[in-house]
């Protein structure tokens, strides 16, 4: 099973990772703000992550780590 994690403080809420996830399990967390004032991305269902790494590759700020 794959697992995706985020360095929340580095996220600028651009949504690029959200757009490329083939399982549509990433979304910006509107309930949280990081210290930069952005809503950080979050994974709504880790069990559906297939470990494709599309999100990590797309992120311009290396926020995302995918483990298999």
Helix, strand, or coil here: 42? strand
Q: Which two tokens stand for residue 16?
A: 């690029």
| 42 near ligand SF4, rule: CB under 6 A | no
Exactly one of 4, 27, 29, 30 binds ligand SF4 (CB under 6 A); that residue is 4
Smallest distance from ligand SF4 to CB 63, Å: 4
Q: Which residues bind ligand SF4 (CB under 6 A)?
A: 2, 4, 6, 11-17, 21-23, 25-26, 41, 43, 49-55, 58-59, 61, 63-64, 66
């Amino acid at each position: 099973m794959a697992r995706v994690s985020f360095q929340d403080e580095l996220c600028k809420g651009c949504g690029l990772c959200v757009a490329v996830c083939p399982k549509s399990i990433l979304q910006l967390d509107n309930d949280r703000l990081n210290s930069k004032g952005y809503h950080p991305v979050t994974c709504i269902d880790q069990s559906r992550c297939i470990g494709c790494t599309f999100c990590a590759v797309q992120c311009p700020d290396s926020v995302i780590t995918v483990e298999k």
